[in-house]
Amino acid sequence: MNVVKGVAEMKALSRSLKRDGKTIAFVPTMGALHEGHLTLMAEGKKRADVLVASVFVNPTQFGPGEDYKKYTRDTEGDLDKMSQTGVDIAFFPGPEEIYPPGFQTYVEVTELEKPLCGASRPGHFRGVATVVLKLFNIVRPDVAFFGRKDYQQLQVIKRMVRDLDLDVEIVGMPIVREASGLAMSSRNAYLSEEQRTRAVALSKALGEIKRKFDGGERKASVLLESGKRILSDSSAGEIDYLEIRNGDTLEEVMLASPGDVAALAVKVGRARLIDNIEL
């Protein structure tokens, strides 16, 4: 595995791969890698000649008072996992290279970034879209992999790719969960054992919404109430949102239909956890 830190070096590598007619698969991450990240990489390995995965804790997607400084960093562990998963190029750029002095250009996906996580994390998706576009320009992938766990992020990226005519295929990958149902996340490391047990209610609440939907219930308010009850009965934590929205536009729906998504964010201890289920 080739470990690359410099932006210029990564650009030169992708340029020469393209010249040789190689296809490039790309998985951008913020590190502290777990099975969720690794399934994206394993799929990427199958889909192109060369697999590039990046680790970059992107400062512009964290708001003031969020966990940018405390976000888990585990370079050694990440490198181990990446090489075991068949990553060909591990790209670890530094913040000063991605955001050099004078940096002032941002990408905004104006409507999709507003609801759900965008409402409680203003500027978050602007930071995400900007860094992903930059990474695409540096790595020049043919295909890039994102988890459906970050459902809104996936929609934002897909929209950006369409709107800006980017020449990259975006693949959304299924949510990888622990045996308990808890969606894997780098932020699960913040949870105590007791909080981890309580956090199982998040996937339970979503599972109950889906069960009721599959049973024929369509009223969003009724579906959401059943989910909220599970969250409050298990004292999961402070609910940031629990909503049902159109799966493509993320517009709110009163009556749920197939293709909609039920999504939530809940603060469990100091971890703000997100999860969703597609109806």
Interacting residues toward ligand AMP by CB under 6 A: 29-30, 36-37, 40, 146-147, 149-150, 173, 175-176, 183-186
State the DSSP code for 279. Answer: -
Q: Which of 17, 29, 37, 85 is catalytic?
A: 37
Nearer to ligand AMP, 149 or 198 (CB): 149
d(CA 15, CA 85): 24
d(CA 236, CA 30): 26
We find the least distance from the C-beta atom of residue 19 to ligand AMP, in angstroms, to be 28
Q: Is 37 a catalytic residue?
A: yes
Nearer to ligand AMP, 145 or 212 (CB): 145
Nearer to ligand AMP, 144 or 220 (CB): 144
SS3 267: strand
Nearer to ligand AMP, 118 or 147 (CB): 147
We find the least distance from the C-beta atom of residue 145 to ligand AMP, in angstroms, to be 7
Residue nearest ligand AMP, CB atom distance: 147
Q: Which two tokens stand for residue 117?
A: 């996580």
CB atoms near residue 56 (< 10 Å):
19
We find the least distance from the C-beta atom of residue 37 to ligand AMP, in angstroms, to be 5
What does the DSSP assignment read for 145-207? EEETTSHHHHHHHHHHHHHTT---EEEEEPPPB-TTSPBP-GGGGG--HHHHHHHHHHHHHHH
Enumerate the β-bridge partners of residue 119: none
We find the least distance from the C-beta atom of residue 29 to ligand AMP, in angstroms, to be 4
Instruction: Give Cα 70 to chain centroid, integer Å.
Output: 18
Give me the active site residues, please.
37
